[in-house]
Homo-oligomer: A and B are copies of this chain.
Amino acid sequence: MVSALLTGIATVASVSVPAAAAAPAPRTMADVIAATTPADWRPLDPENTLYLQLPQGRVVIELAPAFAPEHVANLKLLVRGKYFDGLAIVRSQDNFVVQWGDPKGKRSLGTARATLPPEFTVKLTPGLPFEPLPDRDGYAPEVGFSQGFPAARDTARGEAWLAHCYAMVGAGRGNESDSGNGAELYVVTGHAPRQLDRNIALVGRVVQGMEWLATQPRGTGPMGFYEAPGQGATIASVRIAADVPAAERTALEVMRTDTERFRQLVEARRNRRDDWYLVPADYIDLCNVPLVGRPRL
Contacts and interface: CB of A to CB of B under 8 A. Distances in A.
Total copies of the chain: 2
A51 interface: no
A95 interface: yes
Which among A192, A195, A269 has the highest number of chain B CB atoms within 10 Å? A195
A14 interface: no
Contacts of A165: 191
A277 B199 contact: yes
A279 interface: yes
Interface in A204-241: 210-211, 214-218
Q: How large is the interface on A (under 10, 10 to 19, 20 to 34, 35 or more residues)?
A: 35 or more
A95 B209 CA distance: 12
A225 to B, nearest CB: 14
Interface in A154-203: 165-167, 174-175, 177, 190-195, 197-199
Chain A interface SS verdict (over half): loop
Given A138-B135, A139-B283, A216-B215, A195 B278 contact: no
Interface stretch (A60-68, A257-265, A284-292): A284-292
Contact of A279 (B199, B218, B279): B199
A56 to B, nearest CB: 9
Which among A194, A216, A276 has the highest number of chain B CB atoms within 10 Å? A276
Contacts of A281: 139, 194-195, 197
A195 B272 contact: yes
A120 interface: yes
A275 interface: yes
A136 interface: yes
Given A198-B279, A278-B199, A285 B138 contact: yes
Which among A138, A139, A277 has the highest number of chain B CB atoms within 10 Å? A138
6 contacts: A136-B138, A190-B214, A195-B269, A199-B277, A215-B218, A285-B285
Interface pairs A-B: 7 shortest CB-CB: A211-B218, A94-B211, A138-B283, A195-B281, A198-B279, A215-B215, A166-B191
Interface of A: 94-95, 118, 120, 135-139, 165-167, 174-175, 177, 190-195, 197-199, 210-211, 214-218, 269, 272, 275-281, 283-285, 287-288
Given A194-B285, A195-B280, 16 more contacts: A120-B279, A135-B138, A136-B136, A137-B138, A138-B283, A174-B276, A175-B276, A177-B278, A190-B214, A191-B191, A195-B269, A195-B277, A211-B218, A214-B218, A215-B215, A215-B216
